[in-house]
Every structure is written in C-alpha cells, then in structure tokens.
Amino acid sequence: MGNGKVKVAMIGAGSWGTALSLVLADNGHTVYLWGKNQQTIDEINKVHENKKYLPNILLPDGIHGTTSMEEAVRDAAYITLSVPTKAMREVIKQIIPFVKSPITFVHVSKGIEPESLLRISEIMEEEIPKELIKSIVVLSGPSHAEEVSLRHPTTVTVSSKSMEEAQKVQDLFINSNFRVYTNPDIIGVEIGGALKNIIAVCAGITDGLGYGDNAKAALITRGLAEMARLGTKMGANPLTFAGLTGIGDLIVTCTSPHSRNWRAGNQLGKGRQMEEVLNDMGMAVEGIRTTKAAHQLSEKYNVELPIASALYNVLFNGGDPKKAVDSLMERGKTSEMEDLINILASQYIE
Ligand SMILES: NC(=O)C1=CN([C@@H]2O[C@H](COP(=O)(O)OP(=O)(O)OC[C@H]3O[C@@H](n4cnc5c(N)ncnc54)[C@H](O)[C@@H]3O)[C@@H](O)[C@H]2O)C=CC1
Ligand SMILES: O=C(CO)COP(=O)(O)O
C-alpha cells in the first residue's frame, strides 16, 4: 500500500465501527469492515451506506464490507474490535484462527463485564493467545458516530501499556476532523468510558421525568465523583477523569439525544419498561450491563456508588425511577470537598 497506508480490519459493522472505518478511509487506509449481517454488508458494498446503523452517510470507497473473518483479518496491520462488550469474547474466538503473527489489537468499546468484572483490554488478554498480541490499544472519548461520520470536530484519546503502539494508533486515526490524544492510564481511560454510560442512563431518566438542567448538572458532577471514586480504587489516575474519557464523555453522553444510553433512560423516565425499551432500540445500550458490573464492583472494593446503586435498583429490582431520585436527594448529609480530597488521596493510601 505504501506511504504509511495500511489495511485495517474493523470487526463490528455497527454505528461506531462504520464511523471509524470512514475516518480511516479518509486517511487513505484500506478498511475491511466485518459484520455478520449479509444484508448490511451488501448495502455497504453496493450503495456505500450502512442503512441500519448509520443511515444517510455515503461511505468512502476505501471501505470494503465482508462477512468473511478470514478476508477481513488476512494481512491486516491492525485489528480493531468495535462490537458491544457482551459480544467481545465470542467475536475474538472467531478472529484468532486467522491471526498468523503478533499484531496490535485496538478496541473502541465501552463496558465492564459483569461477574468477571474485567475491563475490555483484560478480556482481550484472556482470550487472545499471548504470542499473537503485539499490544492492545483502547480508543475512547466523546464521539457520537453520527457526528464523526459528518466529519464534525471530534476529540478522542488512545491508551495502552505500550505508549509507542498508542502513538502509532494515534497516527492511524488522527486527521483535521478527528483529533486523537494519548494518555498512559489505560485503567482510567477504560473505566471512564464504561461508567459514564451508567450516569447517561440516569440523565435520560431525569430528563424523562421532566426535571431539567439542575438535576442533570448534579448527575454529571456527582456522577464524575462516583466514577473517580471507584476508578481510583481500581488503579486509575484520578486526573484521567478530568479528561476526554471522563468528564468529556460524560458531558456528550448525558446531554445528547444521539446517546442510546440517554435515550433508553429517557424512555424509562417516561414510564416505559426496560425490556420494551431495549427491544425498540435494537442497538447496544452498554450502560445496562455495566450497572450490574458497577454494583458488583462497589461490593468488591467497598466503595459507595449512590447513583449507580439507585439505577441498579430501578433496572434490576423493579424500582420506581422517581423514588430513586427522591432516595438520592434524601441521603445523609455529606461534604463535597472531603469526598474530592479522598478521591485524590486514595491512590496514595492503601
Ligand atoms: N455509537 C457510538 O457513537 C459509539 C459507540 N461506542 C461503543 O462501541 C461499541 C459498539 O457500539 P455501536 O457500534 O454503537 O453498537 P451498534 O448497536 O450500533 O452495533 C453493534 C454491532 O455489533 C454487532 N454484534 C452484536 N453482537 C454481535 C455478536 N455476538 N457477534 C458479531 N457481531 C455482533 C451488531 O450486529 C452490530 O453490527 C459499544 O461498546 C459502544 O459503547 C463508543 C463510542 C461511540
Ligand atoms: O460513547 C458514546 C459517545 O462517546 C456513545 O454513547 P451511546 O452508547 O450512549 O450512544
């Protein structure tokens, strides 16, 4: 291919995999976009559109849809995973037979697995044989696929245990519409991206209840404290939560009707049942499973997560959304400054 242009396998032809393929193709790379749905792949190849997941966006010629994992992965310089967290293990198992030498795997998904309580890069380390991993890089940040595909200004962050590989992935994706930063704190980057979805569901609920801006600002601010409280216990740098993958992604997800997490919450706040809402959505709503994981993590690390706990009660114990908000407002008094100082200090205690 030459000129630094490479073949990239994008595994997952949903909205995010398709939008990121567009970014890579704009940068001159050749993208093999793998999906399991033949109709979606045919549409990508014949009319250059992903009608189900990213309608009305003309996809560049550099994107080739395929349902063949072998074709996608063969001779690729990078393998990027863009499937929901719950599909990660199953999809990696389909990739491995076609990987012949060590390669850098990138993931762009946002979740924590319930029960194992693993971050996505940890799931990848479990599922991919060590000898096939050159490195694992995560790309995360405030980036709705709908706006990325319109080439609107967007900023994201890449992180990895190998900053050299993170910088190569930065170079792969960066362009004048899509600015990519690096951050060495992979724990914080992955945890921020996963936990913000919980708060976004809650923001949708308060909007659905008609509570407006004060409630949303409260959720964003105290949600961030909650994310950082748990994240630092899990080994994250508290400063990461002040960056794109923390407050940045929290803002974009809590305030935008593009967000599937916000939209799902909004319907719950309007009184609809979860099953029905998720069926209608037909797209990944990562915050639901991540709420279960957060509930388990709060017990494991003995960390108080009032907002996530209130949502857990609504989602999994049939709790009433309005009563959940009341219960948060009626909690015992606490000091904001003490909480923030404890978060900053927690990485130095233990
Ligand atoms: N949509 C967005 O704007 C952004 C999404 N993300 C993250 O990217 C990840 C993927 O999300 P989206 O693309 O938005 O989801 P989506 O719901 O639009 O698409 C999911 C894709 O994964 C495929 N898939 C699901 N289960 C599968 C399985 N078992 N085997 C093979 N393929 C399977 C679906 O067929 C679909 O193509 C999520 O973790 C999400 O949080 C991150 C940033 C932005
Ligand atoms: O992560 C996202 C934006 O950064 C997309 O959020 P949703 O999954 O809620 O649509």
Q: Which residues of 180-205 are buried (b: 16+ CB within 10 A; e: fewer)?
A: bbebebbbbbbbbbbbbbbbbbbbbb
Q: Look at residue 348 and tell me whether its pLDDT is greater than 70.
A: no
pLDDT confidence of residue 346: 79
User: Which residue matches tokens 């990078």?
Assistant: 78
pLDDT at 192: 98
- pLDDT exceeds 80 at position 239: yes
- Please give the number of the atom of ligand 2 that sits closest to the Cα of 141: 4
158-217: pLDDT as tens digits: 999 999 999 999 999 999 999 999 999 999 999 999 999 999 999 999 999 999 999 999
Radius of gyration, CA atoms only, the chain: 20
Tens digits of residue pLDDT in 66-79? 999 999 999 999 99
> Over the stretch 266-276, which tens digit does the pLDDT of each residue have?
999 999 999 99
Distance 66 CA to ligand 1 centre (A): 16
DSSP letter string over 229-275? HHHHHTT--GGGGGSIIIIIHHHHHHS-TT-HHHHHHHHHHTT--HH
The token duo for 71 is: 């074709």
CA-nearest residue, atom 28 of ligand 1? 87
Is 196 a catalytic site residue? yes
Bind-site residues = 12-17, 36, 53, 110, 141, 143, 145, 196, 249, 259-261, 286
Of 160, 151, 164, 180, which is closest to residue 25 (Cα–Cα)? 151
Ligand 2 atom 10, closest CA: 259
* Sheet with 78-81: strands ordered across: 63-66, 30-34, 7-11, 78-81, 103-107, 133-140, 154-160, 178-182
- Give the number of whichever ligand sits closest to the CA of residue 155: 2
Catalytic member of 5, 7, 52, 196: 196
**Per-residue pLDDT at 56 exceeds 70:** yes
For ligand 1, residues with CB inside 6 Å are 12-17, 35-37, 53, 82-85, 87, 90-91, 108-111, 143-145, 283-284, 286
Report pLDDT for 3.
79
Confidence at residue 284, expressed as pLDDT on a 0 to 100 scale: 86
**Cβ-Cβ contacts under 8 Å for 296 (sequence gap 6 or more):** 114, 115, 117
pLDDT > 70: what percent of the chain?
A: 98
Q: What is the pLDDT of residues 279-319, one digit of tens each?
A: 999 898 999 999 999 999 999 999 999 999 999 999 999 99
Domain boundaries along the sequence of the chain? 7-182, 190-346
Burial class of 346 by CB neighbour count within 10 A (0 to 12, 13 to 18, 19+): middle
Most ligand 2 atoms within 8 A of CB, residue of 254, 258, 268, 288 to mutate: 258
Looking at the structure, give the CATH architecture of the domain made up of residues 190-346. Orthogonal Bundle (1.10)
CATH of the domain spanning 7-182, picked from 3.20.20.140, 3.40.50.620, 3.40.50.720, 3.40.50.300: 3.40.50.720
Pocket test for ligand 2, best of 152, 256, 260, 267 (most atoms within 8 A of CB): 260
As for the ipTM of the complex, it is 0.99
> Residue 2 has what pLDDT?
67
Alpha-carbon 321 to chain mean position = 24
Bridge partners for 135 per DSSP: 104
CA dist., res. 252 & res. 144, Å (int): 8
Helical (H) or strand (E) element with 92: helix 88-95
Which parts are annotated binding residues for NADPH? 15-16, 36, 53, 110, 145, 260, 286
Q: How many CA atoms lie within 13 A of 71 on its CB side?
A: 11
Task: Output the pTM of the full model.
Answer: 0.98
Question: Which residues' Cβ are closer than 6 Å to ligand 2?
Answer: 110, 142-144, 197, 200, 249, 252-253, 259-261, 286
Cα–ligand 2 centroid distance for 242 (angstroms): 18
Instruction: Kindly tell me the burial class for residue 58, based on how many C-beta atoms sit within 10 Å of its own C-beta (0-12, 13-18, 19 or more).
Output: exposed
For the chain, what is the mean pLDDT?
A: 97
Provide the pLDDT for residue 349: 55
Cβ proximity of 331 and 306 under 8 Å: yes
345: confidence class by pLDDT, cuts 50, 70, 90? confident
Chain segment 19-53, per-residue pLDDT in tens: 999 999 999 999 999 999 999 999 999 999 999 99
Summarised one tens digit per residue, pLDDT across range 309-337 is 999 999 999 999 999 999 999 999 999 99
> Per-residue pLDDT tens for 109-152?
999 999 999 999 999 999 999 999 999 999 999 999 999 999 99
